[in-house]
């Protein structure tokens, strides 16, 4: 994993943080950091999701996340971390990368991965997708 890619909470986790931010106003980061330190996050609505973000992404992520990143995307489709193109095929979604030749980080390895994933049973692709999501968040 590229350490320059920011940890990425799941959409559920982001939504929980966004809702927290909406409740706590301008100083929400300090409020959430305090809640994380004291364990009060567990009593918040969706507290278990806030706790997951603390455990996997932590204070460094909190310090740098922007409201734009918290805002729900217009399209629910995940996008390529390198070019922002929407990921469309199951293989692209599972790989977390686009396979567009126009992508600045186009990587033949991603094509091979996509081809491999496309030939795998759905439940195995799901397993890999969850594993990749967990890895991204723990970076
Ligand atoms: Zn791309």
Residue 83 burial (CB < 10 Å; 0-12/13-18/19+)? middle
* pTM, rounded to two decimals: 0.50
pLDDT one-digit tens code per residue, 23-39? 999 999 999 999 999 99
- How many angstroms separate the alpha carbon of residue 26 from the centre of ligand 1? 34
Can you tell me the distance from the alpha carbon of 134 to that of 132, in angstroms, rounded to the nearest whole number?
A: 5
Å from CA of 59 to ligand 1 middle:
28
35 Cα: distance to centroid of ligand 1 (angstroms): 37
Of 17 and 66, which is predicted with more confidence?
17
Neighbours of ion ligand 1 (CB under 5 A): 80, 82-83, 98, 103
The stretch 112-129 carries a mean pLDDT of 80
For the record, the structure tokens of 65 come out as 């996340």
Q: Which residue has the higher pLDDT, 121 or 32?
A: 32
pLDDT band, residue 135 (cuts 50/70/90): low
């Amino acid at each position: 994993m590229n350490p320059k890619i920011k940890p990425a909470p799941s959409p559920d986790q982001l939504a929980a943080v966004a809702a927290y931010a909406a409740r706590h106003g301008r100083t929400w980061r300090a409020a959430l950091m305090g809640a994380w330190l004291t364990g009060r996050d567990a009593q918040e609505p969706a507290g278990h999701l806030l706790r997951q973000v603390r455990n996997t992404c932590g204070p460094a992520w909190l310090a740098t996340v922007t409201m734009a990143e918290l805002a729900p995307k217009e399209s629910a489709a995940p996008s390529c971390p390198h070019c922002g193109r929407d990921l469309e095929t199951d293989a692209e979604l599972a790989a977390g990368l686009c396979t567009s030749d126009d992508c600045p980080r186009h990587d033949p390895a991603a094509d091979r991965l996509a081809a491999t994933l496309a030939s795998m049973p759905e439940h195995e692709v799901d397993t890999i997708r969850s594993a990749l999501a967990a890895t991204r968040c723990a970076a």
